[in-house]
């Protein structure tokens, strides 16, 4: 039987990095709390419930539409999770892996009156009080015009970059104040550190144990 070389073991562990996002992918992550629940949506979601929104895109893409003050880009994935008071974890999502749907994207505005980042798309996921979800619009605004120098994809962003925000999850038959959930963002991260899945930890532990056994046997031989 051929002994397993320790460098090969390290290489196997390194391969686990393939589970991380591809180099060309960037994630905008917004976290915070629910600030308003529309009157038509029942009591499953309540004021103060926490949320996390991840929006993934190809950072190397060119805008699919552009003017001097506004550029539009496509998203690949969006996932919104609310830890709700009345229904536990609620998840809405959309997938366009090829980034080929103009209804799932974001805009970078650098106009005379403001800088703004607007992310929007349709969603699938649970209904609330019989109301099906339609989509989301997350807009971050800086009226001091210090956020962007142009309309290229921005990467150096925090909630402090902006002085205003309008974050909406909308439901069918949208009526303002009735078929909507509003959020307040307390954090805006770009490419947040990934947390490995439990199965990844188990694999790492197994490989570490295998390495220990191999080294011990080699020392005894």
Please name which of 31, 103, 93, 22 lies closest in space to residue 57, comparing C-alpha atoms: 22
- Would you say residue 10 has pLDDT above 80? no
- pLDDT mean across residues, the chain: 84
Q: Kindly report which listed range (24-38, 121-135, 204-218) carries the lowest average pLDDT score.
A: 204-218
More confident residue, 68 or 14: 68
Percent of the chain with pLDDT over 70: 76
pTM metric for this prediction: 0.77
pLDDT of residue 11: 44
| 92-131 residues labelled b (16+ CB within 10 A) or e (exposed) | bebebeebeeeebbbbbbbeeebbbbbbbbebebeebeeb
Distance CA 194, CA 111 (A): 34
Contacting residues for 4 by C-beta, under 8 A, at least 6 apart:
210, 214
Contacting residues for 49 by C-beta, under 8 A, at least 6 apart:
33, 34, 82, 83, 84, 85
What sections of the chain are H helices per DSSP? 6-14, 198-220
pLDDT tens per residue across span 95-141: 999 999 999 999 999 999 999 999 999 999 999 999 999 999 999 99
Distance CA 163, CA 191 (A): 22
Half-sphere exposure of 161 (CA within 13 A, CB side): 20
With beta carbons less than 8 A apart as the criterion, state whether 104 and 82 touch: no
pLDDT of residue 120: 97
pLDDT of residue 206: 53
Half-sphere exposure of 1 (CA within 13 A, CB side): 5
Please name which of 162, 169, 181, 159 lies closest in space to residue 135, comparing C-alpha atoms: 169
pLDDT tens per residue across span 143-202: 999 999 999 999 999 999 999 999 999 999 888 889 999 999 999 999 997 544 444 434
Distance CA 172, CA 188 (A): 28
User: pLDDT category, 6, cuts 50, 70, 90?
Assistant: very low
């Amino acid at each position: 039987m051929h002994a397993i070389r320790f460098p090969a073991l390290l290489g196997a562990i390194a391969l686990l990095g393939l589970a991380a996002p591809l180099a060309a992918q960037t994630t905008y992550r917004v976290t915070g709390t629910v600030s308003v629940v529309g009157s038509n949506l029942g009591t499953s979601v309540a004021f103060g419930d926490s949320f996390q929104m991840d929006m993934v895109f190809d950072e190397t893409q060119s805008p699919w539409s552009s003017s001097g003050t506004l550029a539009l880009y496509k998203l690949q994935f969006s996932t919104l999770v609310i830890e709700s008071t009345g229904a536990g974890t609620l998840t809405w999502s959309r997938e366009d892996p090829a980034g080929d749907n103009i209804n799932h994207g974001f805009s970078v505005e650098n106009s005379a009156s403001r800088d703004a980042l607007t992310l929007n798309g349709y969603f699938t996921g649970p209904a609330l009080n019989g109301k099906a979800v339609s989509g989301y619009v997350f807009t971050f605004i800086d009226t001091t015009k210090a956020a962007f120098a142009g309309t290229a994809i921005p990467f150096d962003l925090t909630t402090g970059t902006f002085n205003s925000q309008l974050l909406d999850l909308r439901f069918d038959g949208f009526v303002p104040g009735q078929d909507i959930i509003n959020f307040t963002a307390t954090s805006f991260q770009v490419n947040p550190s990934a947390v490995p899945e439990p199965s990844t930890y188990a694999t790492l532990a197994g490989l570490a144990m295998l390495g220990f056994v191999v080294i011990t046997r080699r020392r005894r031989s």
